[in-house]
Amino acid sequence: MAMPMRRTLLLLHQATLRSLKNAETSLDVRYPVPLFLPVRTKKRYFIPPAVRLKEKKSLEEKAQTAGLTYRQQYFERPINIACTAGIFDAYIPPEGDARLSTLSKEGLKQRTEQMRQSATSQLAIRKIKEHDPHFITKEFAEKAQEIFIEAHNALAQFNKEKLHSLVTERCYPEMTRGNRYKTIRWRFVESLEPPKVVHARCPDMVTKGNLYGQVTVRMHSKQTLAIYDRFGRLMLGSEEQPKDVLEYLVIERHLVNPYGRWRLHGKIVPSWAPAKDPIVKTIMIPGPVLKPSDEFDALNYEVPKPEAVQWHK
């Protein structure tokens, strides 16, 4: 009894569904479309395709791909072999200009150091004479003094061509640095003592046979020096008052070069030398702050005095 009843209900249910579908199609009934809300995820930024390339091609690879020959670039520092970059085994002037007594401990130490340096200088002078047979110690000291005088005259006259032939490429920027817009008045008065060769070295550079001759000359003379700024105001020295100057000049030559010449390479300033005079600089004195309606009366204005400031070199 239960089974036939169940079959009857299923058939009735199927018939009802068919009738409802037929009614919907006849009446054109539409149900709303279900809405799907996206779930928020991690933000993804736009990355251009060129950046996504893992391997970046270098200039050489790009040139090879294009069929071009890529020239190799050399990042090397250029050097000048016409002169050395410094002073080799610089001469150490004895304190007090070797006037200490040999009986004292300091005087005996000075004498021992002089003997050691003179022995090395004699070996260097022999090497110099092998390449320059006309080198004579006494005559060279006078020649070095002439080079010094001509170089400083060319510097005072701003003769660059002549100065390049008298000083080395290392010494030139040291002499001309800071001289722009300045007037230099220099004069050699007299020589208090005859110049003297006190030191000589014959170093090599780059290769073993590339020799350079460096000779140190002691020169004691009277000179006048005056430096004016661009406004014509005196900055240093005096043109009328000469001063005693003790200098140790270093003259250098490229011995291997047959066309080389002796040129001024630098100066040795001993540690016991007195400090130089300070340079008097021109500064602007601040005036009074005026309003647009005020007038400046120069006769009644007092120049403010600068405060005393301690300075050192």
Tokens of 43: 């933000």
Mean pLDDT value across residues 10-16: 72
For the four alpha carbons of 48, 51, 52 and 56, in that order, the dihedral sign comes to positive
Q: How far is CA 59 from CA 63, 65, 71, in A?
A: 6, 10, 10
Let me know how long the chain is.
313
Task: Find, among 268, 263, 265, the residue nearest to 143 by Cα.
Answer: 263
In this predicted structure, what is the pLDDT of residue 190?
93
In this predicted structure, what is the pLDDT of residue 108?
73
Distance CA 69, CA 64 (A): 7
pLDDT grade for 289, boundaries at 50, 70 and 90: confident
For the four alpha carbons of 109, 110, 115 and 119, in that order, the dihedral sign comes to positive
In this predicted structure, what is the pLDDT of residue 171?
93
Tokens 């060769």 belong to 197
- pLDDT tens digit sequence for 224-238: 999 998 888 898 888
Helix %, strand %, coil % of the chain (to 5): 30, 20, 50
Mean pLDDT value across residues 115-125: 85
Q: Is the pLDDT of residue 172 over 60?
A: yes
Give the burial string for 7-43 (b: 16+ CB within 10 Å, else e).
eeeeeeeeeeeeeeeeeeeeeeeeeeeeeeeeeeeee
Q: Chain-wide mean pLDDT for the chain?
A: 80
In this predicted structure, what is the pLDDT of residue 3?
58
Task: Tell how far CA 39 is from the center of its chain.
Answer: 63
Distance CA 147, CA 141 (A): 10
Tokens 């001063």 belong to 243
Mean pLDDT value across residues 262-270: 92
* Higher local confidence (pLDDT), 170 or 94: 170
* Higher local confidence (pLDDT), 292 or 148: 148
In this predicted structure, what is the pLDDT of residue 129?
92
pLDDT grade for 5, boundaries at 50, 70 and 90: low
Q: How far apart are the first and last CA of the chain?
A: 127
Task: Find, among 309, 257, 301, the residue nearest to 283 by Cα.
Answer: 309
